[in-house]
Amino acid sequence: MLHSAVQLLRERGAAGVTIDAVLARSEAPRGSVYHHFPGGRAQIMTESLTLAGDAISAIIDQAAAQSAVTTLRQFGQFWTALLEQSDFGAGCPVVSVAVGSSPEDEHLQPSVAAILGRWHAGLVTAIETDGVPSPRAQRLATMAIAAVEGAVILCRVNRSTTALDEVIDELEVVFTAALPA
């Protein structure tokens, strides 16, 4: 059910995650919701957001052990695969909660901030490990996350990965130029 909720977040945003939609997508019996998620939709939203955030954080953290450019490439490959597999119907589940949640989902905003903070920290670590001073690494990580997430939106709208490819290519140039000589 949680994987179904993550898929719904990617495709329909926070408003599209209803108990009925999760049950229809997962083909689980209604009683499963009350058994596994006594907190109802709020619990499903919280746990699916955590699941999605942890999965993307793991990609960043694993790649960050290699280099910042490797992290960018793997982050780009992850989004390219997701976009293509969903026929450009799926975006970032975390961003969907950040920008498309209702007042009843307000309790999720601290989790969204924490997830984006983990992504930022992982990328900063990779950039600093490559020898870039911390203040610049912080700015580069912010720019990279904002640019990639924006590119994912453009890819969905244009039904093409061109925007993401271009953003990753340009970020690689900027990251490489920031390395100490």
What confidence tier does 31 reach under pLDDT thresholds 50, 70, 90?
Answer: confident
Q: Quote the CA–CA distance of 55 and 118 in Å, as a whole number.
A: 12
The answer to whether the beta carbons of residues 60 and 122 sit under 8 Å apart is: yes
For 7-99, list the strands marked E by DSSP. none
Predicted TM-score (pTM) of the model is: 0.91
CATH number belonging to domain 46-178: 1.10.357.10
According to the model, what pLDDT value does residue 147 have? 98
**How do residues 69-84 score in pLDDT, each as one tens digit?**
999 999 999 999 999 9
What confidence tier does 103 reach under pLDDT thresholds 50, 70, 90?
Answer: confident
According to the model, what pLDDT value does residue 110 have? 96
The answer to whether the beta carbons of residues 36 and 82 sit under 8 Å apart is: no
CA torsion 90-7-140-162 (nearest 10°) is -20
Angle at which helices 2-12 and 93-100 cross, to 10°? 60
With a cut of 80, say whether residue 62 has pLDDT above it. Answer: yes
According to the model, what pLDDT value does residue 111 have? 95
